[in-house]
Structure 1
Amino acid sequence: MSQQLVLDRGTQDAKQLARVLYLVHACTFFFSLGMLSFLPLIVNYVKRPDTSGTLVYSHHTWMIRSFWYYMVWMVVGGIIFATIIGFPLAVAIWGLAWLWKAYRLIRGFLDLDSNKPMPV
């Protein structure tokens, strides 16, 4: 029985770290437009193998994918911004990417609190 308590404690600690990472991703996202999100991203990559076989693993994967897709769209917007005609389109792409990333952070945080794994 004590072994079960240790496993539950480990899962709770992993969930708490995932919560903190969602919040750090959100803070860096809102205050630096995601440019500092590489810091919690590193922790996601380091801690993800430790959570293999748990729902927290899917949350680490969710945060990692959110970061990289967001970066791709920000770069695409930057390339389009470099053209004279592309300014309004670039702003639209950046705005949609920002809304999409905000949705993914909020949904992930809420699903983690509800003990739901993220779709992969």
Structure 2
Amino acid sequence: MSQQLVLDRNVEDAKQFARILYIAHALTFFFSVGTLSILVLIVNYVKRPDTHGTIVYSHHTWMIRSFWWYLVWMVAGGVLWVTLIGIPIAMVIWALAWLWMAYRIIRGFLDLNSNKPMPV
């Protein structure tokens, strides 16, 4: 088997695994408001070095950044919620964070299927 064929197969395997991670992020995000996404995040961190130099690397980075920014906005909403005066603002922040995360998951999945790297 040629070296190029092995590399192509490794990239395809990495892409398939990234697809599974996008689906896992989506499921944990939609059914647990992202709390279980920490498990998928750990897998992203573990698998990302294996994909260095491929478009899949940018997708792992995209998922990792999406998680951390989502967490920042959820915590910001939580801080506002505690102040009681900020409850309506917290609700808006949480809704916008949820929509933003849904967009990031969908866009990443579609771009991966189109063989496009994510902006980093």
TM norm structure 2: 0.98
Matched residue count:
120
Amino acid at match of 1:15: K
Amino acid at match of 1:101: M
In structure 2, distance between residues paired with 1:13 and 1:40: 17
1:20-39 correspondence runs (5 A): 20-39=20-39
The alignment-based identity, stated in percent, is 75
Matching residue of 2:48: 48
Unaligned runs of 5+ in 2: none
1:1-120 correspondence runs (5 A): 2-120=2-120
TM norm structure 1: 0.98
In structure 2, distance between residues paired with 1:34 and 1:84: 23
1:15-54 residue CA offsets vs partner (Å, 9 max, x unmatched):
0000000000000000000000001100100000000000
In structure 2, distance between residues paired with 1:60 and 1:90: 29
In structure 1, distance between residues paired with 2:6 and 2:98: 39
In structure 1, distance between residues paired with 2:15 and 2:84: 46
Unaligned runs of 5+ in 1: none
**Partner secondary structure for residue 111 of structure 1:** helix
Amino acid at match of 1:19: R
Q: Displacement of 1:98 after TM fit? A: 0.2
In structure 2, distance between residues paired with 1:48 and 1:83: 39
Q: Displacement of 1:99 after TM fit? A: 0.2
Runs of 4+, deviation exceeding 6 Å? none
**Partner secondary structure for residue 20 of structure 1:** helix
Q: Displacement of 1:4 after TM fit? A: 1.1
